[in-house]
Amino acid sequence: MNFLKGKKLPIGHFFLSLAAGLMFFLLPNEARVQCDRAYWELYVLSLSLVISVVLLLIVKKYEAIGTAALTAAGLLSLRFIINSAISAAQGSLKSLTEELTVYDMVSWIIIWFVPFVITVTVKLFSISVWNSREKREGFSRFLFLSGAALMIILLTIIVCKVIIPFNGSVDGARTIEIVPLMRIINCINGTHTTGILYILWHCILLIPIGFFLPIYIKKVNLITIFFVGIGSGALLELWQLTLNTGSVCFDDIIMYTLGTVIGYGLKLLIEKTRSVLTLGHDKNMLEIQYNIEK
């Protein structure tokens, strides 16, 4: 992988990136201390924006943002492992499932999403110095590191909310719904307990897979993404069926698949926009260039 062997971050910039990652990691708890509950997400969003812009302006390297994101995600994962060990020592995993609140998940996504969007936007409209060979190498490393960071966050959420049992005994009765579109219709008309939020949750969960898989693997196309979505959704539903960690529904697989397709579509949309802006000279902005040529 030549893009990983290119010019590395200077030691000073590297430690600045680590410091930014630490600040990202601390933001959710800091918001609880500094402001009222209604403004927690806004606090995390605004400071994530400031940290990202300042870091990019100081370091002027795309990969610095990726390093910060991976640092924050690694610390979140470490905290998850520690909490898992404590919970296991106490003989229960239920507390860990409940510990990961909606606010935690939203704040984690914010501190990843904001730096990612800022960096991609800079690259999208980049010219001259921000689009040099060195910058292209740096952007490839940024994609690689940011993707790894998001996968860590995604895995943590899936483990906490999907894999860890929360329906009691593994031997208990299962809830299985195999009629297509029935649950989706119930969510839309309001008869399901969580309504439209249920659809959003299942679609959003696998958007990162559809977005980043073709970034890492160039030969991935829409058909591949479609079957990856079906396979991933079926695997999650099979896990829930086996360990009784939730209801099993055919519609969930449909929504998981839709999420992966949406992710793939977003990737194509960004690349098409870059291609138009560069008059067709840069058609593959969101692909890791493993062998970058001048």
Packing angle of the helix pair 102-124, 62-89 (nearest 10 deg): 160
Structure tokens at 282: 């840069």
Confidence of residue 70 (pLDDT cuts 50, 70, 90): very high
Q: What is the pTM of this model?
A: 0.86
Q: Is the confidence at residue 261, as pLDDT, over 90?
A: yes
Tell me the one-letter amino acid at 78. L
Domain boundary among the residues 164, 196, 228 is at 164
Phi/psi of residue 177, each to 5°? -125, 115
Strands (DSSP E) contained in 75-208 are 176-177
198 band by pLDDT with thresholds 50, 70 and 90: confident
Measured between alpha carbons, how far is residue 249 from residues 18, 26, 125, 184, 234 in Å?
Answer: 42, 37, 43, 10, 10
Can you tell me which residue has the tokens 């960096």?
A: 119
Residues 207, 146, single domain; the answer is no
Can you tell me the distance from the alpha carbon of 8 to that of 63, in angstroms, rounded to the nearest whole number? 9
For residues 171 and 123, which has the higher predicted lDDT (pLDDT)? 123
Determine what percent of the chain falls in helix, strand and coil, rounding each to the nearest 5: 75, 0, 25
Q: Are residues 52 and 119 in contact, defined by beta-carbon separation less than 8 angstroms?
A: yes
Task: Give yes or no: residues 228 and 88 share one domain.
Answer: no
- Whether residues 19 and 131 share a domain: the answer is yes
Question: Which range (176-180, 280-284, 287-291) has the least confidence?
Answer: 176-180
Give the range of the structural domain holding residue 272, as residue numbers without chain letter: 168-294
Of 36-40, 62-66, 259-263, where does mean pLDDT reach its minimum? 36-40
Number of structural domains found in the chain: 2
Which of 164, 196, 221 is the C-terminal boundary of a domain?
164
